[in-house]
């Protein structure tokens, strides 16, 4: 284990994603203190007690605190926001816009007042729009508010590539841009297996099939589970991003970032390659795009902008 980071991390929401984030943060000793907050009385406290007792077995020194009181999150260095209603079969991420928008607005208020210097990683769906709302409600610099999207979507693409090619997933590098939804843009041009281009390993038909499966990767799990959505991979993705920021690892991770002209877009959050370090989003890397990829990016950004407009109609922004 690495030395414990002398910091405080709050995970908002003690559902499956949130509790798994808390577990991974504790096991990786990402902070000296992990606060797990939820509106349901007893749940975060019970999970925290269980994780603290697990520390005796794991040999870790991070303390997990469960609470229902936003005051206990004050002074946090970083928030991972997972609270919100999950998708059910047949629902799109945009179907959650109203209910989760109100939840994110309430969370943003206590983040802004109690932890004005914090970084925020948003996991709540619809992710790009909720990240936009979080930044607006906190008033934080955009480099300190980022959405977890591309890391998860790229991981799904990586697994499908490994499965199709019969190779180890640890050798696969994949990149997915755009919204965390059906219009995401898997970048097969930038996918490799230990440096070998995907086009040398798979037919165009196989690649198209993996691209489609990546776009529906979340829905595939929702349909299989029937009563919930994915949580292991989303939690791993969020904690990887948190670790890169808190430990200044400067990892290049596809993340939902606020664009100021990059890729030709202005004033919108969407998934792009970004270097995450102690300043938050330290650099957005602009990749050369094919005409097809640029058209797809315009489509995905258009859908995000339409949902942001709905937030305004709902009085949430």
287-307 pLDDT tens trace: 999 999 999 999 999 999 999
- What does the block give as tokens for 280? 């938050």
Whether 77 shows a pLDDT value over 80: the answer reads: yes
C-alpha 50/C-alpha 41 separation (Å) is 16
Could you report the per-residue pLDDT of 7-64, keeping only the tens digit for each?
999 999 999 999 999 999 999 999 999 999 999 999 999 999 999 999 999 999 999 9
**Helix, strand, or coil here: 185?**
strand
Active site residue 180: yes
DSSP code string of 42-81: THHHHHHHHHHHHHHHHT---EEEEES-GGGGTT-SEEEE
C-alpha 24/C-alpha 240 separation (Å) is 10
- pLDDT (0 to 100) of residue 16: 96
**Separation in Å, CA 175 to CA 64, 121, 151, 158, 193:** 33, 19, 8, 8, 12
- What does the block give as tokens for 261? 């002209």
- Do residues 161 and 198 make contact, with C-beta atoms less than 8 angstroms apart? yes
Which entry of 8, 24, 156, 180 is annotated as an active-site residue? 180
Whether 93 shows a pLDDT value over 80: the answer reads: no
**Helix, strand, or coil here: 122?**
strand
Domain map of the chain by residue range?
A: 8-147, 150-313
The mean pLDDT value for 129-158 works out to: 97
CATH class of domain segment(s) 150-313: alpha beta
Bridge partner residues of 64 (DSSP): 34
Q: Helices 204-215 and 217-225, interaxial angle, to 10°?
A: 60
pLDDT tier at 199, thresholds 50, 70, 90 = very high
Could you report the per-residue pLDDT of 278-287, keeping only the tens digit for each?
999 999 999 9
The mean pLDDT value for 165-185 works out to: 93
Whether 89 shows a pLDDT value over 80: the answer reads: no
For the domain spanning 8-147, the CATH number is 3.40.50.720
Whether 71 shows a pLDDT value over 60: the answer reads: yes
Total-model pTM: 0.94
Could you report the per-residue pLDDT of 220-229, keeping only the tens digit for each?
998 999 888 8
Could you report the per-residue pLDDT of 226-256, keeping only the tens digit for each?
888 899 999 999 999 999 999 999 999 999 9
Could you give the residue ranges of the DSSP H alpha helices within the chain?
Answer: 16-27, 43-58, 97-114, 127-138, 150-165, 204-215, 217-225, 232-246, 291-313
- pLDDT (0 to 100) of residue 1: 44
C-alpha 258/C-alpha 132 separation (Å) is 8
């Amino acid at each position: 284990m690495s030395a414990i980071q002398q910091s405080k991390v709050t995970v908002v929401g003690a559902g499956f994603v949130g509790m798994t984030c808390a577990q991974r943060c504790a096991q990786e000793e990402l902070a000296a203190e992990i606060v797990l907050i939820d509106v349901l009385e007893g749940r975060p406290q019970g999970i925290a007690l269980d994780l603290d007792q697990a520390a005796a077995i794991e040999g870790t020194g991070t303390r997990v605190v469960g609470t229902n009181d936003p005051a206990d999150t004050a002074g946090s260095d970083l928030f991972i926001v997972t609270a919100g209603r999950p998708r059910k079969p047949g629902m799109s991420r945009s179907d959650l816009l109203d209910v989760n928008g109100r939840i994110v607005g309430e969370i943003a208020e206590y983040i802004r007042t109690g932890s004005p210097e914090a970084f925020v990683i948003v996991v709540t769906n619809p992710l790009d729009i909720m990240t936009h709302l979080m930044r607006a409600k906190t008033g934080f610099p955009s480099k300190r508010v980022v959405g977890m999207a591309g890391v998860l979507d790229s991981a799904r693409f990586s697994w499908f590539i490994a499965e199709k090619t019969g190779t180890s997933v640890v050798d696969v590098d994949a990149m997915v841009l755009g919204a965390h939804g059906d219009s995401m843009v898997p970048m097969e041009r930038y996918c490799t297996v230990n440096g070998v281009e995907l086009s040398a390993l798979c037919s165009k038909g196989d690649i198209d099939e993996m691209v489609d499966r990546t776009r529906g990767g979340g829905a595939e799990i929702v349909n299989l589970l029937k009563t919930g959505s994915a949580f292991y991979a989303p939690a791993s993705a969020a904690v990887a991003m948190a670790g890169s920021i808190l430990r200044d690892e400067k990892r290049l991770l596809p993340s939902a970032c606020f664009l100021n002209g990059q890729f030709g877009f202005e004033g919108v959050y969407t998934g792009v390659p970004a270097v995450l370090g102690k300043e938050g989003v330290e650099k957005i890397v602009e990749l050369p795009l094919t005409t097809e990829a640029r058209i797809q990016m315009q489509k995905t950004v258009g859908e995000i902008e339409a949902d942001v407009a709905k937030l305004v109609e709902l009085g949430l922004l």
